[in-house]
Amino acid sequence: MSLAAMPAHVAIIMDGNGRWAKSRFLPRSMGHRQGAQSLKVAIQAAREWGIRYLSVYVFSTENWSRSQDEVTFLMGFLTDMLVSQTPELIENDVRVCVMGNRVVLSEDLQRQIASSESASAHCQSLQLNLLINYGGRDEIVQAVQQLIAQGVSASEVTESRVAAHLYTKDIPDPDMVIRTGGDIRTSNFLLWQSAYAEYFFIPTLWPDFNRAAFESVLTTYRSRERRFGGVHA
- The class (CATH top level) of 9-135+174-222 is alpha beta
> What's the pLDDT score for residue 105?
95
For residues 73-100, give the mean pLDDT.
Answer: 97
> At residue 141, does pLDDT exceed 70?
yes
pTM of the model: 0.93
- The DSSP line for 36-78 is HHHHHHHHHHHHHTT--EEEEEEEETTGGGS-HHHHHHHHHHH
> At residue 182, does pLDDT exceed 70?
yes
pLDDT tens sequence across 22-73? 999 999 999 999 999 999 999 999 999 999 999 999 999 999 999 999 999 9
Alpha carbon distance 154, 158 (integer Å): 9
> At residue 155, does pLDDT exceed 90?
yes
Which region, left, alpha or beta, applies to residue 147 given φ > 0 means left and ψ of -120 to 50 means alpha? alpha
> What's the pLDDT score for residue 3?
38
pLDDT tens sequence across 125-139? 999 999 999 999 999
What's the chain's average pLDDT? 95
> At residue 195, does pLDDT exceed 70?
yes
* Cα angle value 57/62/63 (rounded, 5°): 70
For residues 89-116, give the mean pLDDT.
Answer: 97
> At residue 2, does pLDDT exceed 70?
no
48-79 in b/e burial notation, b at 16+ Cβ within 10 A? ebebbbbbbbbbbbebeeeeeeeeebbbeebb
Query: Which residue is catalytic, options 15, 133, 173, 175?
Result: 15
> What's the pLDDT score for residue 163?
97
Alpha carbon distance 142, 148 (integer Å): 10
Q: How do the domains of the chain map onto residue ranges?
A: 9-135+174-222
> What's the pLDDT score for residue 232?
61
> At residue 161, does pLDDT exceed 50?
yes
Name the percent of the chain lying above pLDDT 70. 96
Query: Which residue is catalytic, options 17, 63, 108, 170?
Result: 63
> What's the pLDDT score for residue 231?
62
> At residue 228, does pLDDT exceed 80?
no
| Catalytic (active site) residue 63 | yes
| H or E element in which residue 82 lies | helix 68-91
For residues 186-212, give the mean pLDDT.
Answer: 97
